[in-house]
A and B are shown apart, each in its own frame.
Chain A
């Protein structure tokens, strides 16, 4: 049995907009294991991003508990969460979120500057196949390339978990596959626990485990017996 990385217990998240209360999460119990590649699927508004943000220490729960290994995230204050993110988590977002005034290398360096045991920015960029574009600014790169810089940035600190919110959402299938290759590569080589949110059901074929979301709850979980490499995924 691999090590437990994340464990949640009755996590709810309620947005109080004044008139109505929106239950973004309505009781989520979940376990994620070391080295696992998990895909989160679900309709828009079902609470996927909310859960990912909570796992990554970007957001707070309304009720329930969340553990990262032995660490109770719900007990941490802002400072504690910052340190948690800095030391353990890598994020990849749909809209890349690169700093436009920094080159690819410098965007990665942004992370390596503050992590305890980073790899060289160049190494991280090589891993996503961008060794030749290191000194380009985001505006000089395509969406797929930018997203790969974002992945390089996320992995450069050698995180234990990699959380990706629709990493291929803004990309066509060909570039999307390059990005997925990069993610799988990292997962295989370093055993980084990876969670990928997607609207693209085809992507689930490359996961160890697939979790379906509906109305703030987990509606269905299943394990892939046979994983497909990204190159064989078509959409």
Chain B
């Protein structure tokens, strides 16, 4: 081994603590990049492959009842490649051994027995004989959650008729990678199942012989979804078509898409922060080493080493740091990706996950890591190359401390000499001080941006579950019912309160802007399902007009007092001009609200309801469920108590994981910045500090100078970190806002104090470690060394 290489390795070993502190920051960036990029690729490729193999459709539409012959016409729409019609329905399920009722979505299996679109993948058993009426396929997660075996039987209330169904096989479908039952917020595999039944049997049960109520289309590669959607709407219009939609509004795909987008933006936004901090730290450390080794550099040049050799020597030192960081990052990243892949496998129901170890993610992150270190080192390294050998060997001129206005101000404060030394040094290296402050403030901001989420979710949960939706269960009916059904519900065992509600699918239009939503209509002053404004006030929709959530209003660009066109998609399918009576801030969904009587007057009919909210006597829930299993016309039940619980559990778990990760990340950044900063100061000022000790200053006084500087910067970093954190939080809330939910920006003092506490403690510990070195400083040796 060459002597210069040996020097490199020894220098590296001597620097291990500083190198490790930097390497860990870099490792964070690399690990996050590998994980998010790797998972992004895995999900994306899996989705593409799955959709292609199982011919997932591009456009979907529901209708009330369309003749099968219409399929021919649909096929002739420009750009359509394949059409599959089917009958779909909802049913309350009675699962043996389960006291609560479950909800099933029934889908027809084509009479031919062969699916042309949305082909379910058989996981076990066989497809039922098309002739049979009591054999079904179920989705695998539902079967697993309920412990079903092939041949097991459960009962379904099909359009008022309770029938036993035998499971002949389990499947996975590209349509149901992520499934949430009606009214649910989280997947509930036990309580919500997808059931495939031979078409004839479904048609008979739902009175749909010779007709269909759902159609899926696969388009040619060059087709435009929007034009097909509008042609399809036109064809289905006479048959009660509910506006057609493309994949972006297909529940399962929309969720996966959101996840993929989030992974991609994570892989783009987050790692650069770590790479930037790494570059700064490398710059600081290599710069200091080169300053220290001035005379060695001069010597190497005198001996005949070329500038290139010297550049390479110090670049390699930076490179070694990068290599350690990259290797750690790769390790952690691989482990994280695997855990995450397992998590995704639970969360999304893919039959396979194409998790190829994407070598390019490793290569790209490796290259970026090395480049980061090189960028950090290059300025100092070039300075080293530029040093003339003769100059390098003479000691550097003492740093110039200049008097400026700030200095005069400090003098006027009559600070002690040690304090003056701290301030003078800060001003002596303004760029370094500023960057150190910035680095520490990024740690603060990461914590602010991570923990504000917690409070925001609390607010959402409180508003959604404890203020707005206070019912214990939601009953959904298959048809619009007369309001007298309320009385029937009240008579069910255990029901304490019952309130009516109805959703009307509708398209709201303002000029060229339009949005398909469901208008919620209810009686004034409900007790269970209330509309709450952001200030906690209960709001009632006015007798005339429509009230919109502010997000919906802004998407349609309307304000209170404006008039919008409302095309109702159910019932009489009429179009009305309705005045926007007001807007209300809502976190979940795109709500639109109307008064039940007002709406009935518009339709010139008696009020109709499809939803009943109830509160229950806890002791009677089993009886209540037993009764539901027999109830006709019931399409579904949602137990809000369970929804609440599963939502809270999931959130709590996520919040704990998130907070832990971000605390680790922020600590790593802080330690990386503070430790290196203090180490470099110690090295720069060892003589000065040793002289003070010789003059009779105590250890405490001397370490005050050393630690004071880093801690002052850490303090300065707090307000800056808060500001940056709030900005990041704001960006995140904007970025996460979708039609599904908005995240309110809730900033509590605790968020800021927690962030500051973590960062200040980490900085203090890091400088204390350096202080121990100061305590061990060999005064004689320091004074003897020539610098």
A interface residues with partner B (beta carbon < 8 Å): 53, 56, 58-59, 78-79, 82-83, 85-87, 89, 91, 93, 95, 97, 99, 101-102, 106-107, 109-111, 113-115, 153
Contacts and interface: CB of A to CB of B under 8 A. Distances in A.
B393 interface: yes
B3 A109 contact: yes
A111 B7 contact: no
Given A102-B6, A113-B4, A82 B296 contact: no
A102 B1 CA distance: 13
A102 B3 contact: yes
B388 interface: yes
Given A58-B389, A82-B306, A82-B307, 4 more contacts: A82-B301, A82-B304, A107-B3, A110-B303
Query: Which interface class (under 10, 10 to 19, 20 to 34, 35 or more) fits B?
Result: 20 to 34
Given A97-B393, A106-B3, A56 B302 contact: yes
Contacts of B3: 102, 106-107, 109-110, 113
A157 B659 CA distance: 61
Contact of B786 (A56, A83, A85, A95): A95
Nearest to B386: A78
Nearest to A84: B304
Contact of B303 (A86, A95, A101, A102): A86
Contacts, number: 74
A229 B219 CA distance: 102
Given A79-B306, A110-B3, A110-B303, A58 B388 contact: yes
B223 interface: no
Given A53-B390, A106-B3, A97 B295 contact: yes
A86 B296 contact: no
B10 A85 contact: no
Contacts of B10: 101-102
A58 B6 CA distance: 26
B302 A58 contact: yes
A151 to B, nearest CB: 13
Nearest to A79: B306
Q: Tell me what chain B mostly uses at the interface: helix, strand, loop, or mixed.
A: helix
Given A53-B390, A58-B388, A58-B389, A99 B303 contact: no
Contact of A93 (B305, B309, B393): B393
B304 A115 contact: yes
B296 A97 contact: yes
B4 A110 contact: yes
Contact of B299 (A78, A89, A99, A101): A99
Interface string B213-237: 0000000000000000000000000
B304 A114 contact: yes
Interface string B4-34: 1011001100100000000000000000000
A87 B14 CA distance: 32
Contacts of A106: 3, 6-7
B11 A101 contact: yes
Interface string B296-336: 10111111111101000000000000000000000000000
Contacts of B645: none
B601 to A, nearest CB: 91
A51 B14 CA distance: 38
B2 interface: yes
Given A53-B390, A101-B7, A110 B300 contact: yes
Nearest to B301: A82
15 contacts: A56-B302, A58-B388, A59-B389, A82-B301, A87-B304, A93-B393, A97-B393, A99-B299, A101-B10, A102-B6, A106-B6, A110-B3, A111-B304, A114-B303, A115-B304
Which 3 pairs between the two chains have the least Cβ-Cβ distance?
Answer: A86-B304, A109-B3, A101-B10
B304 A99 contact: no
A119 to B, nearest CB: 15
Nearest to B385: A78
**In this complex, which of A87, A99, A102, A113 has the most chain B Cβ atoms within 10 angstroms of its Cβ?**
A99
Contacts of B303: 85-86, 91, 110-111, 114, 153
B107 to A, nearest CB: 73
Contacts of A56: 302
Contacts of A95: 295, 786
A106 B4 CA distance: 9
Given A58-B388, A101-B14, A91 B2 contact: no
A53 B307 CA distance: 18
A113 B3 CA distance: 7
A202 B431 CA distance: 52
